[in-house]
């Protein structure tokens, strides 16, 4: 069941499933908390799962035209405070990983484990920043095509064929993202700082889930980042959307990670 919390005069939507140690699941850009339905059945048997719609996504509203990772982390903090959850394991997919790191930077003692799923602690390079700025100009006049293109670029050609139904379902959810939410989150990701020190300087359990064919993040660079930060890493054969492309493997890996926390 969806719940709503007031945060800075706007609505944050979240859902709770199961009982046990808290596991917070944060979706990526152009996604919402429904992406986690693939793991809910398995994980809610032993954990209290909190799925949160990040600002401008799902049923959560927007706040202005810049959703910084810090602002979204504040919203996460507000939800967990409301639920009286002191410590949790946090899993963030892509943009959700950036938000998880911002939350961990401010609340390191509240983290039992942090999983970056198809994500990185590094800031955007200049080329990526320019692409985000360009996308934010184009989206204002060509929303549907831009969302389709942004989303399709997350999948390899092989995955587009093998997971056509799942991809279409996820694209349908992506199309519900408001233009304001798209722009605000792109800008927030564009200006986010490098947070590798959050991983280096904390001893909570850390895991990178890496897609060998990820078209967004280079697998080898993520492997090196994991080594540099004393984090565990797991490499899947496919790309950026591990919850679709490597669902069974993802569930197994996350089960071990949560157990180890």
Low-confidence ranges of the chain (pLDDT < 70): none
**Cβ atoms of 118 and 244 closer than 8 Å:** no
**Cβ atoms of 155 and 163 closer than 8 Å:** yes
- Specify the pTM: 0.97
Q: In the numeric block, which tokens belong to residue 24?
A: 């917070």
* Separation of alpha carbons 107 and 111, rounded Å: 7
For tokens 């180890």, what's the residue? 260
Q: What is the pLDDT of residue 160?
A: 86
Q: What is the pLDDT of residue 126?
A: 97
Task: Find, among 189, 259, 205, the residue nearest to 45 by Cα.
Answer: 259
* Separation of alpha carbons 178 and 65, rounded Å: 11
| DSSP 8-state code for residue 122 | S
Q: What is the pLDDT of residue 154?
A: 87
For tokens 């990178």, what's the residue? 208
* Separation of alpha carbons 97 and 88, rounded Å: 15
What is the fold, at CATH topology level, of the domain defined by 2-260?
Answer: Rossmann fold (3.40.50)
Distance spanning both ends of the chain, measured CA to CA = 27
Q: What is the pLDDT of residue 152?
A: 84
Q: What is the pLDDT of residue 6?
A: 96
* Separation of alpha carbons 35 and 28, rounded Å: 9
Q: What is the pLDDT of residue 183?
A: 97
* Separation of alpha carbons 190 and 69, rounded Å: 10
Q: In the numeric block, which tokens belong to residue 93?
A: 């997919």
pLDDT in tens, 154-187: 887 788 889 999 999 999 999 999 999 999 999 9
Q: What is the pLDDT of residue 67?
A: 98
Q: What is the pLDDT of residue 150?
A: 84
* Separation of alpha carbons 68 and 191, rounded Å: 8
- Reduced to 3 states (helix: H, G, I; strand: E, B; else coil), residue 228 is helix
**Cβ atoms of 28 and 94 closer than 8 Å:** yes
């Amino acid at each position: 069941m969806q719940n709503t919390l007031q945060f800075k005069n706007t609505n944050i939507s979240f859902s709770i499933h199961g009982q046990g140690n808290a596991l917070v699941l944060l979706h990526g850009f152009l996604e919402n908390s429904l992406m986690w339905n693939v793991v809910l059945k398995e994980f809610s048997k032993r954990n209290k799962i909190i799925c949160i719609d990040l600002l401008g996504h799902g049923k959560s509203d927007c706040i202005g035209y810049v959703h910084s990772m810090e602002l979204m982390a504040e919203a996460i903090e507000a939800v967990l405070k409301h639920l009286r959850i002191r410590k949790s394991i946090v899993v963030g997919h892509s943009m959700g990983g950036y938000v998880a790191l911002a939350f961990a930077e401010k609340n390191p003692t509240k983290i039992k484990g942090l999983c970056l799923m198809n994500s990185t602690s590094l800031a955007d390079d200049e080329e990526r920043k320019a692409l985000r700025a360009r996308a934010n100009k184009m989206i204002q006049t060509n929303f549907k095509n831009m969302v389709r293109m942004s989303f399709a670029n997350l999948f390899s050609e092989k995955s587009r064929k093998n997971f056509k139904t799942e991809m279409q379902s996820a694209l349908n959810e992506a199309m519900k993202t408001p233009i304001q939410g798209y722009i605000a989150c792109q800008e927030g990701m564009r200006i986010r700082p490098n947070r590798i020190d959050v991983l280096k300087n904390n001893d909570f359990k850390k895991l990178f889930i890496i897609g060998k064919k990820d078209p967004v993040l280079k697998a080898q660079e993520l492997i090196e980042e994991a080594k540099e930060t004393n984090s565990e890493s797991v490499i899947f054969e496919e790309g950026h959307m591990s919850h679709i492309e490597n669902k069974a493997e993802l569930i197994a890996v996350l089960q071990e990670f949560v157990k180890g926390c």
